[in-house]
Amino acid sequence: MKIKSAEFVMSNSDVAKCPKNRVPEYAFIGRSNVGKSSLINMLTSRKNLAKTSGRPGKTQLINHFIINKEWYLVDLPGYGYARVSKTAKKTFQKFITQYFSCREQLITAFVLVDIRHKPQPVDLDFMIWMGENDIPFSIVFTKADKLKPKAIENHIEDYKAILLETWADMPNYFVTSSSKSIGKDEVLDYIHNLNSNMIDN
């Protein structure tokens, strides 16, 4: 799919104030610093559409970008467990769970994980939360430029082994690098196909 236009629409701290129009929406989520904002820039071939930083915690709001005047890409803050007083219960920031619970326009999410690390509890817990709430997602492995192909393969196998303990199938996944533009066509074609299905139906 060719990206003809990519424009910032708005930033919000309140899910209720996000755009109300019913255009297909795709959101990028994952831990801080995993490369969500960089991936949006890579996919749209824009250097500074989404703000990036070497320091975790750069993106603090829900950011909508309209692509080809037809669909939204959404950049979100990183997730982590929210502090819940006196209980050991693990919950994600309200902000994030509200976004995913409320946005009926959301076609699918992309859960980003850094390919260099072994599966982390917070990422696995988030994927389980998405599954429990019937929110479709693909996994996007980021920073593939940092590992050799064999190591990439091994790390994906580690994920498969853990996820298949809980689920019947491995979720759809992509291997990407924003600095080397790896995985760009795969992710964009995937979105394009989903958009086409929406129009056909």
- Which of the residues 44 through 63 are near Mg ion (CB under 5 A)? 58-59
Cβ at position 158, least distance to ligand GTP in Å:
19
Site string for ligand GTP, 115-134 (x = CB under 6 A): --------------------
What single string gives the DSSP state of each residue in 54-73?
SSTT---SEEEEEETTTEEE
Which partner from the list ligand GTP, Mg ion, none does 178 bind, CB cut-off 5 to 8 Å by kind?
ligand GTP
Cβ at position 11, least distance to Mg ion in Å:
12
Burial level of 122, CB count in 10 A (0-12/13-18/19+)?
A: middle
Cβ at position 182, least distance to ligand GTP in Å:
8
Count CB neighbours of 65 within 10 A: 20
Q: For residue 88, give the DSSP letter.
A: -
Indicate whether 53 belongs to the interface with ligand GTP (CB under 6 A): yes
Indicate the residue among 103 and 184 with the shorter CB distance to ligand GTP: 184
Count CB neighbours of 39 within 10 A: 27
